[in-house]
Amino acid sequence: MEKKKKIIIGVAISVAILVVGLGYFLSRKSSNSSKKSKTKNKNPKKILIAGDSQVAIQNEKGGKITYTYPNTLKSELESQGYEIDVVALGGKTTDWIKENLAKKLQEKKYDRVYLHGGGNDVNNASIPLEKTIGNFQQMVDMINESGADPFIVLGYKIEGVDGKFGNYKIMSLTKYLDKQEDWIPYIEKRKELQSRLPKEIIDSSFVPIYDLKQKTSDGIHPNGEGHKIVASKIKESIQS
């Protein structure tokens, strides 16, 4: 009798462990699936690109910048019925992007919004990645609330000393950097941001990291040829 009682208790414990394990698996599966964003607008025509110098088409004084990839998208897609708007300025952090994105979303209804920024955050030692990622999530949330589909552009492959992008040896010094090697922590911070965004941001789609094939002169910004590659990646994302 005692032996039978022990068997029953053992089976009960095994079942309990199985139920708990299954519940944990299902909750994990549900959590992971919630991160996947389903696009609401299958044929996006009204598109907004928000960011910094990577996408700016004018400077703070209103002067035109003609070599960045939104210009290529405008010239190739607007004749096909697409509307491409840009809210971006060089040197701005995600705080600025978030504030100005909110204003733009109130002015016009978009089908899709691309977020392409964070570079100035990672180059600022006083801005932790948690704040930058939090800003991205807030922007994703406001885009979803507006009825548009959010897409985060993860940016270019960081090549390091084997290439040019993220190669501290060719990156210009600033008033905050005494020697080229001082760039290294900021380059690593950029890599970490690229890695964490798709893992931590929910309800957004992503443009995966792309290879710009060393098309840069300063190790940070694409040159004209590099921007053409970016344009092709964004165009593919729009029309796929």
pLDDT value of residue 238: 97
pLDDT value of residue 135: 98
Contacts of 207 (CB under 8 A, 6+ apart): 114, 151, 152, 153, 154, 233, 234, 237
8 A C-beta contact, residue 165 and residue 159: yes
**3-state secondary structure at position 59:** coil
Give the type of residue at 216: T
pLDDT value of residue 38: 82
pLDDT value of residue 36: 55
pLDDT value of residue 37: 62
pLDDT value of residue 25: 33
Show the low-confidence residues of the chain (pLDDT under 70). 1-37
Structure pTM? 0.85
CA distances from 33 to 26, 27, 37, 113, 168 (A): 10, 10, 9, 22, 38
User: Which superfamily, per CATH, for 44-239?
Assistant: SGNH hydrolase (3.40.50.1110)
pLDDT value of residue 136: 98
Which residues share a beta bridge with 36? Answer: 204
